[in-house]
Amino acid sequence: MDKERVTVGQLALMLMLVIAGGKFLGLPGILAGNVGHDSWLVLCVGFVADGICLCFLLWAMRINRSACLPVNLVLDVTLGKVVSKIIMCIFFLVFTSRMIVLLGSCYKMFAVTFDVNTNWVLFALPVAAVSVFALARGFTSIARVSQLLFVPVTLSVLAMVANPLVSSQWTGLLPVAEAGWDNILVTALRQGYWFSDYLFVYFVLDKVRMGKRLFGPVISVFVAGAVITVLTNIVFVTLYGSFAEHFDPAMSKLGVFSSGAGASGRWDWLTLSLWVTSVLLKITLFFYCAYKSLEKIFGLRHDKINLIAVTVIVLLTMLPMVVSSRTFAESFLAYAVVPFALVQYVLPLLYPLLNKIAVDKTSGGVHERA
């Protein structure tokens, strides 16, 4: 359907906002607690792994450009329907759990930074309503919003980072790799859940109108997002040192430091408000992917929204009423790290081959669009 088709440029801008929306909340404090001032090295390792996997996914997209096979059909044809549904279930858990963690971090930021006193239901339901509206409008609506938000969100992040970046004591990063490379690599693996922002690409491989350029725009934007994220983490660690692990969310602390309270008053509320829209966009995108996962698991009609599937996702976002999002992340992910790594780091490396086999088996793209 036309309302589901996006351009390579829109895909690239969306990836940039997804990277920015979430890495500056609870992750810097968690990494600082694990490896101290070497947390930026964990980010570098994570982004290198993400970059490699993203290249393989883009390669698969080029193989699939004429056939336009959706992810579930590729997996059905190559691995079988049972394995395909298991992988879709893992995708559903990944996207749903990340929505819960992002909502929890946003809730904390609004409560701490903006002094907003509200309950979880009144906070989560409006976000869910926006996500359902975007789902009804189609994937293109999310892509167009990404285009509109790209410049203000990027400028707001740079504005919050620029002043602290100049004022930071870079000697706070020495000695490099003090935590030990073995600890850094293990931490990158255990915290890999916070990475792999490219996962939504699985669900749009068949929805991108590709021209001659594919790798250049997407990889360039990915590298830019990675650099900004690493620099932001470096600034956070150098500013707060050994206290960094106690500050959550991180971006609100950077905003306070960057703006201060001059004659014209603080203005970090504006930059934070603009930046938080990228987090809400990321939640909306993950809601879309979680719904599409259910759609492919149960064979739901894709021409209309299934209210039961939507209700299930919305009810799962109410989980922080029972357990905090950070406790949920630390306890649940201890058991989910292996299956999650399957779709984050193993499947992308195999996906070009799976696409080639699927395209050959479907005789040049005669398939049922799902």
Q: Alpha carbon 270 to chain centroid distance?
A: 23
User: Does the pLDDT of residue 353 top 90, yes or no?
Assistant: yes
| 176-184: average pLDDT | 91
For residue 7, CA distances in Å to 144, 213, 281, 322 come to 10, 11, 18, 41
- Please report the pLDDT score of residue 39 as a whole number: 92
| 204-216: average pLDDT | 83
Residue 49 is assigned to a structural domain of this protein: yes
For residues 151-172, one letter each, b for 16 or more C-beta atoms within 10 angstroms of the residue's C-beta and e for the rest, the string is ebbbebbebbbeebbeebeeeb
Residue 369 is assigned to a structural domain of this protein: no
Residue 46 is assigned to a structural domain of this protein: yes
Residue 368 is assigned to a structural domain of this protein: no
* Alpha-carbon torsion (98, 220, 346, 309), positive or negative: positive
CA gap 167, 163 in Å, rounded: 6
User: Does the pLDDT of residue 279 top 50, yes or no?
Assistant: yes
| 313-318: average pLDDT | 92
pLDDT-derived band at 369 (thresholds 50, 70, 90) equals very low
pTM: 0.90
- Please report the pLDDT score of residue 193 as a whole number: 83
Amino acid present at 204: V
Average pLDDT of the chain to the nearest whole number: 85
pLDDT-derived band at 263 (thresholds 50, 70, 90) equals very low
User: Does the pLDDT of residue 2 top 60, yes or no?
Assistant: no
| 291-303: average pLDDT | 89
Residues near 277 by Cβ (< 8 Å), separated by ≥ 6?
149, 152, 153
**What's the angle, vertex CA 200, arms to CA 227 and CA 78, rounded to 5?**
125
CA gap 68, 82 in Å, rounded: 22
Q: Which segments of the chain does DSSP mark as H helices, in order?
A: 8-20, 27-35, 39-63, 71-79, 81-113, 120-137, 139-167, 181-190, 215-240, 250-259, 268-298, 307-316, 325-341, 347-361
Residue 353 is assigned to a structural domain of this protein: yes
pLDDT-derived band at 106 (thresholds 50, 70, 90) equals confident
Amino acid present at 159: A
User: Does the pLDDT of residue 163 top 90, yes or no?
Assistant: no
- Please report the pLDDT score of residue 161 as a whole number: 82
- Please report the pLDDT score of residue 274 as a whole number: 85
pLDDT-derived band at 223 (thresholds 50, 70, 90) equals very high
Residue 364 is assigned to a structural domain of this protein: no
CA gap 63, 219 in Å, rounded: 17
Q: Find the helix packing angle between 120-137 and 139-167, rounded to 10°.
A: 130
CA gap 83, 193 in Å, rounded: 22
Residue 370 is assigned to a structural domain of this protein: no
- Please report the pLDDT score of residue 166 as a whole number: 75
Q: pLDDT tens, 49-102? A: 999 999 999 999 988 888 888 999 999 999 999 999 999 999 999 999 999 988
- Please report the pLDDT score of residue 259 as a whole number: 54
User: Does the pLDDT of residue 366 top 60, yes or no?
Assistant: no
Please say whether the beta carbons of 16 and 151 come within 8 A. Answer: no
Q: Say how many C-beta atoms besides its own lie within 10 A of residue 322's C-beta.
A: 9
- Please report the pLDDT score of residue 116 as a whole number: 64
| 144-151: average pLDDT | 90
**DSSP-derived secondary structure letter, 209:** E
Please say whether the beta carbons of 39 and 32 come within 8 A. Answer: yes
Residue 365 is assigned to a structural domain of this protein: no
As a whole-number percent, the residues of the chain with pLDDT over 90 amount to 40
pLDDT-derived band at 250 (thresholds 50, 70, 90) equals confident
Q: What is the CATH number of the domain that holds 307?
A: 1.20.1740.10
Q: pLDDT tens, 235-244? A: 888 888 777 8
Count the domains in the chain. Answer: 1
**Residue 208 belongs to what H/E stretch?**
strand 208-209
CA gap 75, 70 in Å, rounded: 9
Q: Say how many C-beta atoms besides its own lie within 10 A of residue 117's C-beta.
A: 7
User: Does the pLDDT of residue 265 top 70, yes or no?
Assistant: no
Of residues 60, 330, 305, the one with CA closest to residue 191: 330
Q: Find the helix packing angle between 8-20 and 139-167, rounded to 10°.
A: 50
Name the residue range of residue 16's domain: 2-358
Q: Is 7 helix (H, G, I), strand (E, B) or coil?
A: strand
CA gap 243, 177 in Å, rounded: 19
Give the residue, 26 or 77, on which the prediction is more confident: 77
Of residues 112, 150, 118, the one with CA closest to residue 26: 112
